[in-house]
Amino acid sequence: DGGITQSPKYLFRKEGQNVTLSCEQNLNHDAMYWYRQDPGQGLRLIYYSQIVNDFQKGDIAEGYSVSREKKESFPLTVTSAQKNPTAFYLCASSIGLGQPKQFFGPGTRLTVL
């Protein structure tokens, strides 16, 4: 089955630690996205990538970093510089950046202890 997988589903982190969230897709999509979801705030775009080895900042990129070394993978690192990292993180992909229909993964809930 084609789709997007995110792991882990739940993640706990101590303050001051970096943590990496995984996102993999086997849909052969060029474009991939990371969103952050907070209660009552909808989804906010963190980073997006149009193609391998290319990525752009979204609205709230500070304290986050990404890489796109393979078409299938778009990991997100939440660094210690992110002041309020506890949130639900969603990864998505689309055929291309000009194709707005996005497919979403199941999400990772990150909690900072």
Rounded distance between C-alpha atoms, residue 4 and residue 80, angstroms: 27
Residues 82 and 21 sit within 8 Å (Cβ to Cβ): no
Q: Is 26 in the site for another protein (CB under 8 A)?
A: no
Rounded distance between C-alpha atoms, residue 82 and residue 63, angstroms: 4
Is the Cβ of residue 4 or residue 78 nearer to another protein in the bound state? 4
Q: What angle do CA 75, 32, 29 make, to 5 degrees?
A: 120
Is the Cβ of residue 73 or residue 80 nearer to another protein in the bound state? 73
For residue 91, the 8-state DSSP code is E
Number of residues that bind another protein (CB under 8 A): 30
Is the Cβ of residue 5 or residue 17 nearer to another protein in the bound state? 5
Interface positions, 43-102, toward another protein (CB under 8 A): 43, 45, 48, 50, 56-59, 90, 92, 94, 96-102
Of 52, 60, 66, 67, the closest CA to residue 87 belongs to 60
Binding site for another protein (CB under 8 A): 4, 6, 31, 33, 40-43, 45, 48, 50, 56-59, 90, 92, 94, 96-107
